Structure 1
Amino acid sequence: MTKRFRIYTDGGARGNPGPAGAGAVIQIFQEKTKTFFLAKELKRFLGQATNNQAEYQALIMGLEAAVEMGAAEVECLLDSELLVKQMNREYRVKDSDLAPLFVRVWNLGTKLGRVSFQHIRREYNKEADRLVNEAIDEGLGIRGRRS
């Protein structure tokens, strides 16, 4: 049976560049109920980074977890149109700081059976966004700032 995953990722920086964080929500398809269920939430403080670097780091974090968890088919859902278009080869990666991150995502994709990248509106990515803000707050030593 194919292990189908859905990964919502988000990255952000307060300032651009600025203190940055990455978040990923991993869901696994349950054949019995024909629904996706929450399997894992990940967050990481990145230090100083740009928004786009943080978006890539979030995608890498999610894909690394999917590989470790034995995923065979992964649908990546991002609110970064730039990343989706770069991963779908609609845009070239012109920023030399993003190129190695693109390659890392591409290489992770080769370890999985099938990977797709889809753009979603920000309001459908609230959980990953919450993880980004938690990671930044924790990295900066801010407690209880956001609900």
Structure 2
Amino acid sequence: DLSGRLTKWAIELGIYDIEYRPQAAKKGQVMVDFLVEIESFGEQHDPRQMSQLRPPSAWMLHTDGSTNASGSGIGIVLQTQTGLRIEKALRLGFQATNNEAEYEALLQGIELALHFGVEDIAVKIDSQLIAGQVRGDFEVKEPRLHRYFSKVMGAKARFGNFNIEPIPREMNQRADELAKSTSTGGTTRSIEVLLEGRSMEDPP
């Protein structure tokens, strides 16, 4: 689909430290302004080989959501065992609570991993509540959060192995930086997207 192709192009350009900034879409379309940074810790990747990159046995996903008076944003860091790292930041085009932003981040991170064909994933988030709900330790009582929860559980089933655990905020620093930057209107060296609708809602 279009978003998948845009992501692929941004990744290929990002290898050469080139920014891809598409023109503003027409009214009713998702407004996209993004940049990708991939860190391979010294190893160079031919962009022609990116689409053929096989996921290693396990990827690590860090996500975080941020809400303040200026708005809401989410940060995603998807990393392979070999050090290849994909970062994504999204500004939320709707009002969200902290827990809703955390679920948005988790859902978007999971979808990004599935886009790259990841089968085994270890998720790290600094929300003990969200991690506990997904693990089955805590009950989801709030109706809107339950819709997010159901969406996450459906996506979770698409992995061969899915593990999620809460971590201290200081161990989730990069995802936190991405989320805070977009929620305050800043810019990041990452894919930046304006998410207009809630991920747990069905398209019209």
Q: TM-score range by the shorter chain?
A: 0.7 to 0.9
1:110: how far off? 1.1
Contact 1:79–1:119 at 8 Å: present in 2 too?
Answer: yes
Q: Secondary structure at the match of 1:98?
A: helix
Aligned residue identity for 2:76 = A
Q: Secondary structure at the match of 1:116?
A: strand
Q: Secondary structure at the match of 1:27?
A: strand
Q: Secondary structure at the match of 2:143?
A: coil
Give unmatched runs, 5+ long, in structure 1.
31-36
| CA deviation string 1:68-112 (max 9, x = no partner) | 101111100000000011001010100111011111111111111
Alignment partners' CA distance in 1, 2:68 and 2:88: 19
Alignment partners' CA distance in 2, 1:132 and 1:70: 24
Give the equivalent residue in structure 1 for 2:81: 29
Counterpart of 1:4 (choices 51, 58, 81) is 58
Alignment partners' CA distance in 2, 1:52 and 1:38: 29
Give the equivalent residue in structure 2 for 1:49: 96
TM-score of the aligned structures, taking structure 1 as reference length: 0.84
Give unmatched runs, 5+ long, in structure 2.
1-54, 189-204
Q: Secondary structure at the match of 2:74?
A: strand
Give the equivalent residue in structure 2 for 1:14: 68
Larger Rg: 2
Give the equivalent residue in structure 1 for 2:106: 59
> What RMSD in Å do the two structures reach over aligned CA positions?
1.8
- Name the one with the larger strand percent: 1
Contact 1:7–1:27 at 8 Å: present in 2 too?
Answer: yes
Identity %: 31
Contact 1:21–1:43 at 8 Å: present in 2 too?
Answer: yes
Count of aligned positions: 133
1:64: how far off? 0.2
Give the equivalent residue in structure 2 for 1:34: none
Give the equivalent residue in structure 2 for 1:127: 174
Relative distance call for 1:105 and 1:143 in structure 2 (3 A) is closer
1:38: how far off? 3.7
1:2: how far off? 5.0
1:114: how far off? 0.8
Aligned residue identity for 1:79 = D
TM-score of the aligned structures, taking structure 2 as reference length: 0.61
